[in-house]
Structure 1
Amino acid sequence: MSLSDLGSSALALVREHHAWAGPICFVLAFLESLAFVSLIVPSAVLLIGIGGLVPLSNISFVEIWGGTALGAILGDWLSYWIGHRFEHRISGLWPFTRYPEMLEKTHRFFERWGVLGVFGGRFLGPLRATIPLVAGMGGMPMLRFQIANVTSALLWAAGLLFPGAFGVAWLKGE
């Protein structure tokens, strides 16, 4: 089964079983925000698609927004914890053994921007996968990390879901 097939199946599941929309968005956002996994799971595209189902069904925008934001928050928190717990041993793991410049570039970005980098990194695909990890490795205080994590996750989730959820209705003149 290809990623395209999995994506189509996820959208069909949400379309047919509205009660699963929030939990599915949670899982997709968690995977999109989790270090390493986010590099191979294209969840953002699926979340945009789920947003587009809102005006076509009885899916609650607030429910999918909450599930998406919470999944993103917990995915980044776990990535931060992994970075804090394992520190520089992470550089010996895939994909950093194959692409060491990925970790180096993220580290430079984090050193330059700090908490603003954690916030902004959420909106930049390659950094979304690594910035929480580097923040944990760099010893960023948990409270500062969580403020950036939570606020960026709420905006990121809305930014992914809003165009589909309300753009379709706007285009239809509703």
Structure 2
Amino acid sequence: MTSFLDPLISFVSAHAGLAYLTLFLAALLEAVPVVGSVIPGSTIILALSALVPGGDLKLQWVLLAAATGAVLGDGSAYWLGHRQQRKILNTWPLANHPRVVQESESFFHRFGTWAVFFARFVPPIRAFVPITAGALDMPPAKFYAVNIPAILLWAPVHVLPGVLAVSAFHDYFGVPHQGHLGKHLWILTVVAVAIVLGVTIWIYRRRQNGVVAEAKPRA
């Protein structure tokens, strides 16, 4: 992986426009069924985000490129599933990955609409849940109501760790970098993680309460 990332980082650091395009494509391809399970999209995004503290890339454009790619990737997969319905799950190349397809279906049935949210943070089913949501006839309004907020959290959760790690490295060794970026990003990271954890706990408790209510004998 290092032999692949090192020349990529060196190249895109000298060509900012291509760096943003690479981020966009990495996020988009990561959302494509089957392809997303082999493309190291998250690793590429994390690696390129490390160029932000040195001023090679701008944080806002990195976040925008990653989020836009994810929205288009998830949306394309969803609409393909929505149009083809369940038969798409038994068609090549998905038919060659029955275990992951089954896991994505089970994940969807277990969490319902919120599966679209949680799948954004769980590889490799991240690349299969959007098309599964479409194949199982999830309404578009429900899909996007959960998918877009998930991506808006997913992007900073993937980008900020690389930015913070390099920013901390620069601070420790006295390497000049752009402003006091790290201090502000720590706050954003904590908020993003807190939101993800809060939603996860809320969904878990809600489901547990539902199970308990169903288990109670009726009078």
Q: TM-score, normalised by structure 1?
A: 0.89
For residue 120 of structure 1, what is the amino acid of its counterpart?
A: F
Unmatched 5+ stretches in structure 1: none
The superposition leaves residues 118-157 of structure 1 with CA deviations (integer Å, 9 ceiling, x where unpaired) of 0010000011010001100011110111121111111111
Matched with 1:48 is: 46
Matched with 2:150 is: 152
For 2:87 and 2:4, the matched residues in 1 are separated by 33
Structure 1 position 107 matched with structure 2 position 66: no
How many Å apart are 1:11 and its aligned residue?
1.9
The superposition leaves residues 34-56 of structure 1 with CA deviations (integer Å, 9 ceiling, x where unpaired) of 22220221111011000111112
Unmatched 5+ stretches in structure 2: 172-179, 181-219
Q: 1:148 to 1:171 in 2, by over 3 A?
A: same
For 2:44 and 2:56, the matched residues in 1 are separated by 18
Structure 1 position 132 matched with structure 2 position 130: yes
- The residue correspondences of 1:22-37 to structure 2 (distance < 5 A) are 22-37=20-35
- RMSD (Å), alpha carbons: 1.8
Q: TM-score, normalised by structure 2?
A: 0.72
Percent identical across equivalent pairs? 30
Q: Which has the higher contact order (CA 8 A, sep 6+)?
A: 1
How many Å apart are 1:6 and its aligned residue?
5.0
How many Å apart are 1:116 and its aligned residue?
1.0
List, as ranges, runs of 4+ consecutive aligned residues in structure 1 with deviation greater than 6 Å: none
Matched with 2:200 is: none
Residue-pair matches, total: 172
Matched with 1:96 is: 94
For 1:70 and 1:120, the matched residues in 2 are separated by 18
